[in-house]
Amino acid sequence: MRPPHWAIRWVGSLRMDWHRGDIEGVLQDCYRHGISLYRLQVRGSHCQVETLLTDFPKVYSLCRVHGVKIHFIEKYGFPFWLRWLRKRPSFLLGFGMFALLLLVLQSMIWQVSVSGVQNEDLKLAIVQAAQETGLYPGAPRSRFANVDWLQTALLKKMPRLLWVGITVDGSTANVEAIEKIPPSLSVQTTPRDIVAAKPAVVAKVFAIRGTAKVFPGQIVHPGQVLISGALANGDQQVPATGKVLAEVWYTSRVEVPLHVPLTGLTGQSVVRDYLKVGNWRVRLWGFAQPRYAGELTREQQSSWQIGHWQLPLQWEQVRVYEVQSSTFARSEQIARVMALQLVTQDVLSQPGGEKEILGQSVLQPTIAHGKLYVTVLTRTEENIGAYAPIHLPQGKNSDNGPGA
């Protein structure tokens, strides 16, 4: 019986040519002693056979007993490779130094990037502040296992920033920042009205500045003046301020699939490590070839550089995940709940500011082609006011005309 391939590679194997003597007697004794022989080929008075290195002392003893001569054809496995290395200490030393160099380079930060801000001067200032706090190309990566202290130090050095987040991915550090927005100091002085932006039924009127032109329970139409900036007979004009809460109706038509294809990871994966030089790469680890029905591949590559010069030698890790597809069936009740949730999100995202959902009604539910089709009526309470240039009744004017 042939041993597993990994056992042959790890333990080592010998392929031999037996000649002279009692070859049949050797084969029978090997069988009685449980010695594994494989790839057996008999050609006249010669017999080619392969055995594990650990079984060779027993095979050698039996060959001597039966007068069989041994000629080695092939030596394979880790022990012979290790023996080859021992005869070449310079190669072993070079390989060790290369591995040590890779380990040292992987344990350092080689690139610092800034995201979240558009101002180039501010990006340079953040990079300079990060260098002063200890984050710079060539810094040891072990210092940034916990980056809370670094984020606090950056916020103290950069008062223009509202928030700073630092993530370390391999040999790359990314500084994500949000800049403070200065408050607007402008004051509205241009006269204006507040008009209805959409058809609705008025619920509450809050006129802070100006004259209310509608009352609760009144139906209004788009463009209708709600709070006027004209005081008295229009002789004085002010910028109208306030809000009008009204009940607004939305009609939404939604379709929800009842059968949803799902794709998920099974948890099985293989990792492959490559040494990359330019566009050429060689695999150093991960030689398994799994037969996955579906795969998801994610690549992660180092970014080693000296100063601003990126090294041509990089380390790349590829992880292949097994992906399994399935189909999830929704009930009609769950599909209705999802339809209401989708409509709620859509209504709340409509322009007009904050909204409060007062109620929803599902009309005309229909199932066809594997989907649920519904019409949903949604009642909301929201501020329907919009600013518009001031409007005066015809004949009213602040000028007295020529000859006044």
Domain residue limits, the chain: 5-82, 111-179, 192-242, 253-259+330-382, 264-326
Closest CA to 210 of 227, 223, 234: 227
pTM for this one?
Answer: 0.42
pLDDT at site 184: 57
- Any idea which architecture 111-179 has in CATH? Roll (3.10)
**How many whole angstroms separate alpha carbon 404 and alpha carbon 394?**
19
* 147: amino acid identity, one letter: V
At residue 403, the pLDDT reads: 35
Alpha helices in 107-221 (DSSP H): 120-133, 148-157
* Rounded Cα–Cα distance for residues 109 and 172 (Å): 6
Domain 5-82 has CATH 3.40.950.10: no
Per-residue burial over 324-358, b if 16 or more Cβ lie within 10 Å, else e, is eeeeeebeeeebbeebbebbbeebeeeebeebebe
DSSP state of 102: H
Q: Please tell me the predicted confidence (pLDDT) of residue 245.
A: 93
As given in the structure block, the two tokens for residue 350 are 């409509």
> How far is it, in rounded angstroms, from Cα 308 to Cα 302?
15
Rounded mean pLDDT for each run of 10 residues along the chain, 404 residues in total: 72 86 85 83 85 86 88 85 80 82 82 87 89 86 82 87 86 87 64 91 91 92 90 79 92 91 88 87 86 89 81 88 88 90 90 86 88 93 89 50 35
From the centroid of its chain, how far is CA 106?
A: 22
What pLDDT was estimated at residue 401?
39
